[in-house]
Structure 1
Amino acid sequence: MSPKIQTPDSHAKETATELVLDIGPVAHGGHCVARHEGRVIFVRHGIPGETVRVRLTDAEESAKFWRADVVDVLDASPDRVGHFWHVADSRRAWAHGHPPVGGAEFGHISLPRQRALKTAVLAEQLKRLAAVEHFPGTVEAVGDGQADADLNHDAGAGLGWRTRAGFSVTTGGKLGMHAHRSDHVIPVREMPLAVDGINRLRLWDIDLQGIDRVEVAAPANGSRPLVLLAPAADTKAKRLSAIVAQLPDDVSVATFDPLKDEVRQLRGRTWVQESAAGHDYRITGAGFWQIHRDAPGALVGAVTEFLHDGGFLEPGSVVADLYAGAGLFTAPLADAVGETGSVLSVEGAPGTSRDARKNLHGAPQVEIVQGRVERVLRQKPRNFDALVLDPPRAGAGKSVVSQLIAAGPRAIAYVSCDPASFARDVAYFQQGGWSLTGLRAFDLYPHTHHLETVALLTPRR
């Protein structure tokens, strides 16, 4: 019989099942592996080597594995630290009768151990999916030692780095965040991972009734922030005006429909201005931009260094930026190839592609094309010296990888935010006669399980 699990969304008066487990190795996805009577249990908020008491959160008898949260630590790892955020602390949250919020699942682990665990996950995915026996590096810290007191940027502690944050709203109209894999929304009164430009808005003091979701962007360059409100279908204009009136005058406010990709001005601008690698970028609405304040510079530096050092990027080169967004990589690529070279910039999202056109309007060597990467590559075949590939979390996939190989570039710089899809795509490249010749990994998401990689792929000689 399946254990009875009490969840915050359940009205049934059931007794939650707790177990004592020895925590095994870290796994992709923000949890560690434990076993109970032969069954695998994915445990969040533990550290390998610990003995803990857990609360089962997903334990159907027919399931291949169960899920659990740590509620007490019986034998702690020396790398365990006090969690910096009470509502994300699993032990404290469950003691108060609710699950922890997501988004800081490694906050109980020292930063060096977090990066060691992320290194282990990347190495395991590469070995298992791409038969890469050894990752010759570690996940690198980004921004440490560069704290900015004016922006409450505590880089050395892994805090104050998010320039973007998304929030839900409780049924009572309070700012909140979801628990992991749950519809339960927990009220929040701070966001320690966010820059001060987000926290100073004090969105938790505002009555948000009539709003389903809130997105905030506070650019690292200190330019005007943007608050995006996703209103419920029956929310009146008067209610929206009341919310806008509670926000500082120097903040832009707009509504957005995440399904239709529509943004409508309420006050100020519907976009923010970001800066990176000597360029300014306009990002409209919830358009994609790297969320760590130092991520754009770190990633552009890694990509251009790989391509420059290999002799693949120089004046006159023909290159492409695929899944290009608003042009983060396109602009420095245009600088490198000069007016004698060319850059094809491909982005699928119409709004983001429009931003790219505005951002690159002064670069005649750049061609902006909106559309799916695979379709554009079929329509615009050419001999590329190099490609930059920055796909969404799901990766490029076998079909696109095959097209990239067929395009015949001399090198590909692959930027990825997911080690599993990245390792799978590396395997596809290897099957097509290519090699992984360079790889760096960055901790752009401290206190979470996420990491970013930049790889150099080249055809085997």
Structure 2
Amino acid sequence: MTDKPDWTGRRLRVEIGPVAHGGHCVARHEGRVVFVRHALPGEVVVAEVTEDAGGGFCRADAVEVVTAAPGRVAPPCPLADMALGRDRCGGCDWQHADAGTQRELKAAVIAEQLRRIAGIERDVQVRELPGGPLRWRTRARLAVDRRGRAGFRAHRSHRVVPVDDCPITVEGALDGVTGRRWRPGAELGVARDADGEVHVSAVDHKPQRRRSRAVTRQVSGSGVARETAAGRSFQVAAQGFWQVHHAAAEVFAQVVARFAAAPEGGAAWDLYGGVGLFAAPLAEQVGPTGSVLLVESSRQAVEDAVANLRDLPQVDFRAGLVEHVLDDTSVPSPDVVVLDPPRKGAGRAVVDAITARRPRRVVHVACDPAALARDVGLFEERGYRLGELEAFDAFPMTHHIECIALLERDPSGE
């Protein structure tokens, strides 16, 4: 038996192949796959191996560019500089690519995931959101190092890289956060809402006998963010879920409403409905004689949704896991379903519960292309076909993408 290779620390000269899901590209060396960050397809780079478990692949960071691709640019953030090596901030994946190249790479990832997982061939374009690739992020989570400095973690590491500023966060979000000392090991949540109020919370992990106790304290702001979208005002817990790109909620609500096209007097489901962003336009479409069921597992979010949509009595609110609520046969069958599941996707149980009620349309909002492809494949098995697909660069400089897919019941299966 031969020993498994361990290339950790080894430098390899490799030619970079296609982009892969996760913020890296694929290269090959001596019969092994090398997933290389901070490189672009078509480049020749020197890559230093950072992780090697001894199998058929390893992970590496580009440390020298021998032949650059046309889309390569100097990173706008100094903490993404190649010269820093492993001391680079892990928050961004594509600072070395111009904005157009980033969108092309993300489109290729979506198309590859749909083809490989769901067996669907689809040309994909990723749309830019208003505001450009910098100063878009309204919410951020930071960690605190042993010296009490706030920062972001290095890639696939618990090590904290201290920061003075972050060029993808909106102006003012980190004021008063990065310039002070915090309890070592704390975690910080920062949100700047539509009114310009900055909400900062700190989670301190305090030892208690043989375990630690997490204590959350509000440092600044009221803790209740005020946001606007779809012609309405929303209140949301500052550390609760809201789209992090300042323009995303408005754009996504418009696309969801267009895809849903819920009939007047009809029934709609808004699954994983949060604080009511998508339930609001659905309620307007079905009107006062229709119904909208909003299902959300976070009780705090449901309480916020009730307050946000108090003027829409056609909305019914259920706090609980989606798969459990949909087991209730008294829930009216929908004409349209909107679902915005967590990153892992909806999964078979939820897809089966939805398709058993035979809605005409399903609008799927997804922040992970692999999870979207898995769910789309499940819907296809149940007689739903992928119609329109909108993809958005809602997280510039990172590998994350937001997709909104329209699935329509195949009439030939009726």
- TM-score, normalised with respect to structure 2: 0.93
**1:80-128 per-position Cα deviation (integer Å, ceiling 9, x unaligned):** 0000111123x1212xxx4311121101001111111111111111111
| CA-atom RMSD in angstroms | 1.8
1:216 is aligned to 2:195 = no
Distance verdict in 2 for CA 1:210–1:50, change over 3 Å: closer
Q: 1:362 aligns with which of 311, 330, 333?
A: 311
| Cα deviation digits, residues 398-445 of structure 1 (max 9, x gap) | 111111100111111110011101011111111111101111111101
Matched, 1:292 2:266: no
Q: Which residue of 2 aligns with 1:334?
A: 283
AA of the residue aligned to 2:230: A
| Superposition map of 1:211-250 within 5 A | 212-219=186-193, 221-233=194-206
Aligned residue runs from structure 1 range 179-218, under 5 A: 179-199=154-174, 201-210=175-184, 212-218=186-192
Counterpart position of 2:76 = 84
The percentage of aligned residue pairs carrying the same residue is 41
CA 1:32–1:419 in 2, change beyond 3 Å: closer, same or farther? same
Residue 184 of structure 1 deviates from its aligned partner by 1.1
Q: Distance in 2 between matches of 1:132 and 1:305?
A: 23
Residue 152 (structure 2) aligns with: 177
- Tell me if the contact between 2:144 and 2:182 (Cα under 8 Å) persists in the aligned partners: yes
**Aligned residue type for 1:436:** L
1:209-228 deviations in Å (ceiling 9; x for gaps) = 25511110001x23422101
Residue in structure 1 matched with residue 372 of structure 2 by the alignment: 422
AA aligned to 1:337 is V
**Range moving further from structure 2, 336-345 or 26-35:** 336-345
Residue 401 of structure 1 aligns to which amino acid in structure 2? V
- Partner amino acid for 1:81? V
Is contact 1:21–1:52 with CA below 8 Å preserved after alignment?
A: yes
Aligned to 2:267: 318
Output the amino acid matched with 1:142. Answer: L
Whether 1:444 and 2:394 are equivalent positions in the alignment is yes
- Secondary structure of the structure 2 residue equivalent to 1:204: coil
Stretches of structure 2 that go unaligned for 5 or more consecutive residues are none
Aligned to 2:235: 282
Residue of structure 2 in register with 1:72 after alignment:
64
Pairing partner for 2:116 from 106, 128, 131: 128
Matched with 1:8 is none
Paired position in structure 1 for 2:225: 272
In structure 2, the residue matched to 1:394 is 344
* Bigger mean CA deviation after superposition, 281-290 or 316-325: 281-290
- Preserved CA contact (<8 Å) 1:223 1:272: no
For residues 66 and 316 of structure 2, what CA distance do their matches in structure 1 show?
60
Match of 2:141 among 159, 163, 166: 166
Is the contact between residue 202 and residue 216 of structure 2 (CA under 8 Å) also seen in structure 1?
no
For the 8 Å contact 2:202–2:219, the answer to whether it is kept is: no
Match for residue 140 of structure 1?
127
- How many aligned positions are there? 403
What displacement does 1:283 show?
Answer: 1.1
Of 304, 308, 317, the residue aligned with 2:257 is 304
Uncovered stretches (5+) of structure 1, i.e. residues with no partner: 6-15, 144-154, 236-258
Distance of aligned partners of 1:179 and 1:267 in 2 relative to their CA distance in 1, 3 Å threshold: closer
| 1:29-56 CA distance string (max 9 Å, x none) | 1110001101001111100000001110
Give the secondary structure class of the aligned counterpart of 2:172.
helix
Query: Are 1:39 and 1:65, in contact at CA under 8 Å, matched by a contact in 2?
Result: yes
**Aligned residue type for 1:72:** E
Q: Which runs of 4+ in 1 moved over 4 A?
A: 262-268
Please tell me whether the aligned partners of residues 116 and 138 of structure 1 are also in contact (alpha carbons under 8 angstroms): yes
